[in-house]
Amino acid sequence: IIVVLLVYFGSTELVEMLTGEYIEFGAFGCGVFALSLIFAAYASQTLRGAIQAIPKGQWESGAALGLSKSYTFIHIVMPQVWRHALPGLSNQWLVLLKDTALVS
């Protein structure tokens, strides 16, 4: 709830400090931005943990086949990452749904 209040009241102050003009942002837009910011932070940690859970041998197998790092990441590693990350992301989605009540 602190992040929501900080975005709602702080965004107006920040814009006024940077530009010198008073611009008021809508409550809905600030709520969406605040919840997106919170969800993105938690989701990035979930995905980071899922990427670290993939054995190093998967990266090495892509290199042994002569694949580029980006191709290896997209076609070999990411399908496995989603399998590890989906339970955590679904839990975070439910928390996000519950947090929308705080914004209203």
Q: What would the pLDDT profile of 47-97 be if each residue is shown by its tens digit?
A: 999 999 999 999 999 999 999 999 999 999 999 999 999 999 999 999 999
4 to each of 7, 17, 36, 102, how far by Cα in Å?
5, 20, 10, 9
Buried b (16+ CB within 10 A) or exposed e, 28-61: eebbebbbeebbeeebeebbeebeeebeeeebee
Q: Are 35 and 96 in contact (CB under 8 A)?
A: yes
pLDDT digits (tens, 9 = 90+) for 37-57: 999 999 999 999 999 999 999
Quickly state the pLDDT bin for 104 (edges 50, 70, 90): confident
Q: Work out the angle between the directed axes of helices 27-53 and 78-103 (0-180°, nearest 10).
A: 150
User: Would you say residue 102 has pLDDT above 90?
Assistant: no
**Side chain identity at 75, as an amino acid letter?**
H
Q: Would you state the pLDDT for residue 1?
A: 79
